[in-house]
Amino acid sequence: MAQPSVIFFDIDGTLLTDEKVLPASTKEAIFTLKCLGHTVAIATGRAPFMFKDLRRELEIDTFVSYNGQYVVLNGEVIYTNPLKMSPLVQLTEAALLNNHPVVYMDHEDMKANVPEHDYINESIGSLKINQFPTHDPLYYEGRELYQTLLFCPEGEEKQYEEAFPDFDFVRWHPVSLDVLPKGGSKANGIAKVVEKLGFPKERQYAFGDGLNDKQMLSTIENSVAMGNGEEEIKQVAKYVTKSVEEDGILHGLQMVGLLPK
């Protein structure tokens, strides 16, 4: 049997299908890992409030959320990395001039700086969650924000990348990007967890499919890209499994030797 290890799973396109369904084989594999003594964690770009039900279903209380900016170990917050407020306000002002809305996000909620916008409806709607941003243009005041969503078509983010060096911009939808603190990543958040748990690099695993998984899969020694993942992600991962709809998590865990075939 494999030595106790820690395994980090992305959510969208990795644990969940495009239709946001958790395959039965994936759920069974997660519980089998835990029965074998492994530590199972989530590493996602989502906010903590966006995957409460999934954590409850899988009985997972260790997670890296907001692409590494809000990290929880065994139910306790161990690391936060909020956005710098002054340049965020400037970014918002610039985006408004271009009819590009933003959504402010902390660990509890998300609020849009405009009452209504098609880009927000389209992209947030694709997540199929039961929460939607309401309007509060001053939500940034007096609180720490760990991520902001910027809504603009592909290619139009270049102007923001050049003007706001304090942030990283990571596209997750054709009309939406994550705005993160410069250098913030899932890999950094994972490092905070591993530092506490003490797993050596050869017993660290990560599964992902999207561009926000690139640094994670480049850094973790035993990295697995989903078959449905971006080609760029497959090139940096050590292994490539089947797609999430084809029992890709189970197949990948068997491939790396964490579960029996």
The pLDDT of 138-166, averaged and rounded, is: 96
Residue (of 245, 222, 197, 230) closest to 21 by Cα position? 245
Share of the chain above pLDDT 70, in %: 100
Share of the chain above pLDDT 90, in %: 94
Residue ranges covered by each domain of the chain = 6-80+184-255, 85-181
Predicted TM-score (pTM) above 0.75: yes
The pLDDT of 241-256, averaged and rounded, is: 98
Name the packing angle between helices 24-35 and 248-255 (round to 10°): 40
| Residue 245: Cβ within 10 Å count | 14
Question: Residues 51-97: pLDDT tens digits?
Answer: 999 999 999 999 999 999 999 999 999 999 999 999 999 999 999 99
What is the b/e burial string over 4-16, where b = at least 16 CB atoms within 10 angstroms of the residue's CB?
Answer: ebbbbbbbbbbbb
Distance CA 60, CA 58 (A): 6
Q: Of the residues 10, 168, 178, 209, which is catalytic?
A: 10
Query: What angle (nearest 5°) sits at the alpha carbon of residue 33, between those of residues 31 and 35?
Result: 70
Give the DSSP per-residue string, the chain.
-PPP-EEEE-TBTTTB-TT----HHHHHHHHHHHHTT-EEEEE-SS-GGGSHHHHHHHT---EEEGGGTEEEETTEEEEE-PPPHHHHHHHHHHHHHTT--EEEE-SS-EEESSS--HHHHHHHHHTT-S---EE-TTTTTTS--SEEEE---TTTTHHHHHH-TTEEEEEEETTEEEEEETT--HHHHHHHHHHHH---GGGEEEEE-SGGGHHHHHHSSEEEE-TTS-HHHHHHSSEE---GGGTHHHHHHHHTTSS--
Question: Residues 9-57: pLDDT tens digits?
Answer: 999 999 999 999 999 999 999 999 999 999 999 999 999 999 999 999 9
The yes/no answer on whether domain 6-80+184-255 falls in CATH 3.40.50.2300 is: no
pLDDT at 130 (0 to 100): 83
Q: Is 109 tagged catalytic?
A: no
Contact assessment for residue 107 and residue 91, using Cβ atoms and an 8 Å cutoff: no
pLDDT at 1 over 70: no
pLDDT at 233 over 80: yes
Residue (of 79, 47, 41) closest to 61 by Cα position? 41
- State the chain's mean pLDDT as an integer: 96
pLDDT at 215 over 70: yes
- Report the topology of domain 85-181: 3.30.1240
